[in-house]
Structure 1
């Protein structure tokens, strides 16, 4: 079974890290509305653009998405 993007992102969590993808994962963990089951780029991108004020740049999402696709 294919992992959702959220499941992948949670492997990047590290509360003591200052790396951008770890901070993204840490913040997404606390985002109650994050689309946790999604594997759809457009759905996730739209959600993040409209709701994720904790994500300073969509480039962080794009890099995480690329890694998600390569490893999933």
Structure 2
């Protein structure tokens, strides 16, 4: 079974504040209602768009999603 996007993205937590991936992961971690078990692009994308958090941007999600997909091939 593949790990969720949330678990994948957590590896970017704790990096430099200037790093967009690190800021995304930290903000994702701080969102207690983030869909932690989700593996669906559509469901995660809708959550991020509806949340409209400045550090959880759709562009960074798209970039991290590509890394996530590559790692699950």
Gap runs ≥5 in structure 1: none
TM-score by structure 1 length?
0.89
Shifted more, 19-28 versus 49-58: the winner is: 49-58
Off by >2 Å, runs of 4+ in structure 1: 54-57
> Does the aligned pair in 1 maintain the 2:48–2:56 contact within 8 Å?
no
Residue equivalent to 1:34: 34
Gaps of 5+ in 2: none
Instruction: Find the residue that maps to 1:67 and give its secondary structure.
Output: helix
What's the offset of the Cα at 1:71?
0.8
